[in-house]
Structure 1
């Protein structure tokens, strides 16, 4: 006799508290079997066998497993293709419903449609819930029902719509006794999945409210350890609740709240304009830009050897830690697209491979903003001057000295391009591409 269960499928929501799908699963009066799948479709695309994100997920799963085992339950963790895993699960259990949370990315949409069809053929329901954003899809639209493509009016409508109900936590803890009771199961090791175990200190899950309180005045200075909250990776993998962060932000600092609204905005853009997640410019006319795409210059940018210390500091920080300060992200992205005239998609892909908090919608939105090809982007004639950015945001050169200690030595490379020359070149290139035909 096969055990009767419902399944909670964890993906971008690696926590047991305040989790929408888990809450609905636990209230359904059928024992809930937790699962996680290390999806080989995704893992096989990763270039680095010491990828910090895989290590982060593994650590989060291990922490959740400890909690579940203490309740007499266990998470079943698989390594393979989701279709193959669910074919196995349907054979092993009598499954009523599979519960999970929405994922808005193109691959996730295709995967979930295929899984829903597979389960449907087996008589199993597939239910998904909103969890990683406050507002999704068409919840915040213009009065005519069309999606916003400019952030400021979107954020006004977002704030006007916000109420306590949208921030209310899901009280999953009340129903923890509804987890399926079973002996502890093993989690595949990183080595068994052909990944290296790496010693990495991840940012704390506890939001420092003092950082939020002072966020407006400190957020642009990369040398400050406590200038930003470093919650990006926790939001990306759902180890913290967006509702919890938004509740704190709404009471302490509107600038910090706006950063959370940008996340919702870019997820909404990806949903309504899926072409941006498939390598296309939001503004179609920007596909006419004649990129230089010099591979040697791209390599120097990647390695932090451009001769512009603030740019090089950012790239070295990224390569070493998997993190880059948000102000510096804008500087290095502007430099690649405007100074070097290298296609924003090259930079987007590099960040996708390196950023610990990589999120398709936000990464794409940031890169298209820098290249001026996205919705509500910087105008094409806005070209960040790295020297002025340094003067404004790293005046004492603390950030630069940390990551580029040799910047005043003869060994440090000469600037890869002269700022004034690069600015003139990019303005001419963009103007030629965008002139009416």
Structure 2
């Protein structure tokens, strides 16, 4: 599916004719259009199952471009870990394009202005791109559509927001009925292979040097270990999907066991669009065993994007207004605790292991993400937004939709969320989900402790001198959180969600 935005109707005509739009040459004979078309990459850094690319290559020479725009997102410009990933993913994309006879043009600045400038320089009349649903991208699409012919295509999600609706015609707010409705439309269409060749323009516009963007940290190089865990790019995404296929049937159980690292580890590849969700669905659904639990995680990703589509401020505003009155601790009071949480020095081994894994690898096991987030919000009574911003800067898979919706789910402030008074017990969770080896890997001060002691060394009088005491007792933290909850809970029975 494609949507026309902007002036003229050439885009609509080319789509209706299967992309084989012709024009008359000076001699009156039909010929291919010679004007180049622009292909605007964003969080869709792939060549396979890329509807915008597929449409562009049928119209004439293609100028693929990526604009590093830190102005449009404002406070949501990419964090440090994501920028590391972006550098390597763009390098990989350019390599892949060159194998097809093309290349990637890089520009920096306001994306709309840069695209219009390239169009003026090259004579391009049309831009193809995939839809994206973060508020800044939606604003940019509207602005660009007023200045150029912009053809927007689906493909970032399984289904675009609004494709499934309630019986009353509204957007779904609750995940379970949303998931059922999406499942009625599955499986997605067969993915489309990358084109064998991409025609180049007669003259390339000038572009920036990727290395000059300074996306990689240098002093210090806190991402030095990232490359041991990750291979950004479309080839790396394909390899990760293939590696997961044998594990998909056991995902329902293994994803909760940090020591097994049973997560798919596909989230950064999906976030940067190095593989389409349709490709992942088709491959995983065809693997041996029942992979329903994992497929529902792909649907959750769609659900999260549907929420930010309906409520663009989900990353900064409580979806339940009653939480605006929550008596969070001021960071001037709680700053020491917040630093302990960020650096993995809380005295709770499972929390500390997760936070250290995050800093070292740019990623954290999904079960541990929930435990660490719950600890910050409830044990430390620190506003979820502070934690979300830290994850935004340190996660290689930092997605505005997923990050915002998941943090508000844990906080209880989201549209469809865990109730605030349901407080995770990190010590119990650690033992229940067999995290001993995970703790040994990421908290080496505790590596010598046996399984009976390592989850709570302080309680067994076995805390090493170089490992911190608990920053707060579990019972004390729980009671403080419940007291704060009681102050606002009388408003929570009839909470109205913020309007989208």
TM-score, normalising length: structure 1: 0.90
Maintained 8 Å contact 1:71/1:177: yes
The 1:354/1:249 distance shift into structure 2, 3 A limit, reads same
Match of 2:393 in 1: 353
Match of 1:401 in 2: 440
Partners of 1:363 and 1:328 in 2: CA distance:
14
1:87 Cα shift?
Answer: 3.7
Match of 2:480 in 1: 425
Is 1:91 the counterpart of 2:120 in the alignment? yes
Partners of 2:73 and 2:167 in 1: CA distance:
42
Partners of 1:80 and 1:295 in 2: CA distance:
35
- Say which of 222, 244, 260 aligns to 2:258: 222
Maintained 8 Å contact 1:55/1:190: no
Is 1:262 the counterpart of 2:300 in the alignment? yes
- Say which of 186, 189, 201 aligns to 2:210: 189
1:80 Cα shift?
Answer: 2.4
Q: Specify the SS of the correspondent of 2:438.
A: helix
Match of 1:180 in 2: 201
- Say which of 298, 301, 304 aligns to 2:341: 301
Aligned-residue CA RMSD in angstroms? 2.3
The 1:14/1:337 distance shift into structure 2, 3 A limit, reads same
| Alignment of structure 1 residues 53-92 onto 2, 5 Å | 53-92=82-121
Maintained 8 Å contact 1:22/1:99: yes
Match of 2:284 in 1: 249
* CA deviation map 1:258-283 (0-9, x unaligned): 11010000001111122313x11111
Match of 1:39 in 2: 69
Maintained 8 Å contact 2:353/2:438: yes
* CA deviation map 1:135-185 (0-9, x unaligned): 12111211111122211111111111224xx332134425x3444366797
Partners of 2:327 and 2:375 in 1: CA distance:
16
Partners of 1:368 and 1:410 in 2: CA distance:
36
Maintained 8 Å contact 1:339/1:422: yes
TM-score, normalising length: structure 2: 0.79
* CA deviation map 1:220-259 (0-9, x unaligned): 111114x122101100101112111011233340011011
1:44 Cα shift?
Answer: 8.5
Maintained 8 Å contact 1:79/1:193: no
The 1:33/1:269 distance shift into structure 2, 3 A limit, reads same
Partners of 1:110 and 1:349 in 2: CA distance:
22
| Alignment of structure 1 residues 233-382 onto 2, 5 Å | 233-252=268-287, 253-277=291-315, 279-293=316-330, 294-382=334-422
For structure 2, the 5+ residue unaligned runs are 1-33, 447-462, 493-500
Q: Specify the SS of the correspondent of 1:128.
A: strand
| Alignment of structure 1 residues 79-158 onto 2, 5 Å | 79-119=108-148, 125-158=149-182
Match of 2:190 in 1: 168
Rg bigger for which structure?
A: 2
For these two proteins, the number of residue pairs brought into alignment is 422
For structure 1, the 5+ residue unaligned runs are 120-124
Partners of 1:194 and 1:355 in 2: CA distance:
15
Q: Specify the SS of the correspondent of 1:7.
A: strand
1:194 Cα shift?
Answer: 6.5
1:47 Cα shift?
Answer: 9.7
Maintained 8 Å contact 2:37/2:56: yes
Partners of 2:77 and 2:198 in 1: CA distance:
41
Q: Specify the SS of the correspondent of 1:41.
A: coil
Partners of 1:354 and 1:67 in 2: CA distance:
28
Partners of 1:415 and 1:177 in 2: CA distance:
58
Maintained 8 Å contact 2:82/2:393: no
Maintained 8 Å contact 2:353/2:442: yes
Match of 1:122 in 2: none
Is 1:4 the counterpart of 2:35 in the alignment? yes
Maintained 8 Å contact 2:84/2:215: no
The 1:436/1:344 distance shift into structure 2, 3 A limit, reads closer
Name segments (4+ residues, structure 1) moved above 4 Å.
42-49, 181-187
The 1:275/1:79 distance shift into structure 2, 3 A limit, reads closer
* CA deviation map 1:195-217 (0-9, x unaligned): 44665421542212112122112
The 1:229/1:179 distance shift into structure 2, 3 A limit, reads farther
Match of 2:12 in 1: none
